[in-house]
Structure 1
């Protein structure tokens, strides 16, 4: 919980040489990380230390162990990430042969910026830790707003399309297009790449760019493995989705 340690590597702290204690594991947002010498610590990391009571106490003074400090949410990185993400999402990217520029949008821009802030923020002493309660609140608000916008945009003509315009056929096509790739990707991820169940359902949620599926995945476990898997594949999937659609239009035109 000490801001002076944020962004420093374990090797820089010299806990073993100075105090005779060993760092065996670092837990970050429910994910266990290998305590390698080049691992960068961040505010909110739970560090497992083995040693004598005196050694552990001395290491605690260096790392900090104030739960009260962790209860204060850091709002500046959240709003900074949203602002920079909206700017990035509105920038058009032009590719040769594609008449229309490609944009990451309001979903892809903030996600990519948040990943970059999480990766490089500690190097610039930017505290990215957010309390779990605040994290869950932002997630639920974002998901509710997303579903509300989808419902308002598509709900008006839904019944009429199904009843009078053969919409049920397109629903059937959608089921096939959605389920078949998920089954194939799930089998490949489980048996070829040996992904565990929670990471796999997060990856599948990100592969379909489906926030409701991510919310369901997060409810299955107390760790953040689904969210990590989702964030790993979502930016590439979303970018390929936009780019592939335009390539198909050009190739079939």
Structure 2
């Protein structure tokens, strides 16, 4: 044990990774429906490991937190901007109201109980289950210019308040939204969610067996087709069916068809097209066969960003007639997306530079069209790290700007700058797809390692002052946390049901999102047996991440 203590004191990075590892192990354990969560487990692990006396530099803490905030902003950016511009505005207003209610509740309780800014921010962070508050408050404290001794005392109180209030914040919100609220408001959550899915074509969990476009192997027996060229046959079927490959018999070599290829009697042909066309015209060729080698050609579904100015202003019909002819025979246009919005698939719809065409076809043919029209936005494993790094730099520089109003210095802070940068960068990526790609797994790493690395630093640095703070503030702090948890939810249920008149399942999801509590969303999905609550959660979560970061500045100044 003495060797362990001496070593981690000498090499604090060991304590950091030990804390993160313990946090992930215990945070993923479930006890019935309850789980501490990785963030809380990491914080508690840091408070325990840190009892040996660990000091980590604040710059490491800030680095982890900037990584986390950018990743969060990048992930929710498209949803956030879309909601601000569209009919999601009521959900945005709803989320802002709940954030303000939770913040005002924490400030009022903090004033009544004589808490300082650190305790009040920790109370808000844990009771409102929003770890962003914890990080922004710590970041502002580190930049406040107070003495080192006062700073250490304040930073020790933050995790005390968070650790005491977070468990009820998680469990209480999940139980209230998923189990109590539907009974109080008189609706069956599973029933109303199913009705919404039937009315709006809600997506099901998992993948579907349905394929809109496919290929079939057919033996040619129809005399009306025998002896004709591929071009003639495809025109007979209105270019809804494409003859891709053929062979004269089962043992004959496979031939890649061109427009002038002649179809012979008894040949086995591979035809592709939409499912409706394949079913409608199948009997016009001959019996279907199982010919795996004939159908074994590579296909690809590709997002193609239009950058070639030649095609800017052309209609979908013109592009289909010219480009999807010989260069792309058998390539299908699945959808057209502009600025993260799906456009109507009509022949007269104009295509603009920057639009994204989702196409499907043989890999070689898809590549020809991509080369001609623009940029092939294929999923890759690498991240555009320059985009991320410069985004954080610009956002943090803007956030660090301080203005003085009435002698009071006001600044967004580098933390808010980082999350705003993430939102803008995420939205830019969704609208201009030629740069800024960060894969989903990488976002998960930046998000989780960033947040829990930051939380581990908080816990390790605050460990020695934690026990005394807990003894001094424990029960009163816990009760105050229940008020911060419940007050926004009660207000949200009343407003959502009677004022905004949201659909019940979407309303509950919006409450969970505005409270940024994933545990409540999981409970709602389980009770609803549906993903409908996610519709409300997405906007509320995106809004609350930014708004709570801004409101933390208010808390720190008021308290």
Q: Shorter-normalised TM-score: what interval?
A: 0.5 to 0.7
Report deviation, 1:230: 2.7
Q: Does residue 128 of the first structure (1) align with residue 439 of the second (2)?
A: no
Alignment map for 1:44-63 (pairs within 5 Å): 57=366, 62=373
Number of residue pairs matched?
224
Q: Does residue 204 of the first structure (1) align with residue 505 of the second (2)?
A: no
CA–CA distance in structure 2, aligned partners of residues 132 and 239 of structure 1: 27
Q: Residues 59-107 of structure 1, C-alpha deviation per residue, up to 9 Å, x if partnerless?
A: 666466564x53332111111112222222222243x44x432222232
Q: TM-score, normalised by structure 2?
A: 0.33
Q: TM-score, normalised by structure 1?
A: 0.63
**Match 1:240 to one of 515, 539, 551:** 551
Relative distance call for 1:23 and 1:229 in structure 2 (3 A) is farther
Q: Does residue 174 of the first structure (1) align with residue 481 of the second (2)?
A: yes
Report deviation, 1:197: 5.6
**1:88 corresponding residue in structure 2:** 398
CA–CA distance in structure 2, aligned partners of residues 39 and 167 of structure 1: 60
**Match 2:389 to one of 79, 84, 87:** 79
SS at 1:113's partner residue? helix
Alignment map for 1:38-49 (pairs within 5 Å): none
Larger CA Rg, structure 1 vs 2: 2
Report deviation, 1:111: 0.9
Report deviation, 1:167: 2.8
CA–CA distance in structure 2, aligned partners of residues 200 and 13 of structure 1: 44
Report deviation, 1:5: 3.3
Q: Is the CA contact 1:25–1:35 (under 8 Å) kept in the aligned structure 2?
A: yes
Q: Which has the higher contact order (CA 8 A, sep 6+)?
A: 2
SS at 1:130's partner residue? coil
Q: Does residue 146 of the first structure (1) align with residue 445 of the second (2)?
A: no
Q: Does residue 17 of the first structure (1) align with residue 318 of the second (2)?
A: yes
SS at 2:449's partner residue? helix
Gaps of 5+ in 1: 206-212
| Cα RMSD after superposing both structures | 4.6
Q: Is the CA contact 1:186–1:200 (under 8 Å) kept in the aligned structure 2?
A: yes
CA–CA distance in structure 2, aligned partners of residues 80 and 218 of structure 1: 35
Q: Is the CA contact 1:85–1:106 (under 8 Å) kept in the aligned structure 2?
A: yes
Q: Does residue 106 of the first structure (1) align with residue 106 of the second (2)?
A: no
Gaps of 5+ in 2: 1-301, 322-331, 345-349, 526-530
Report deviation, 1:3: 8.4
SS at 1:70's partner residue? coil
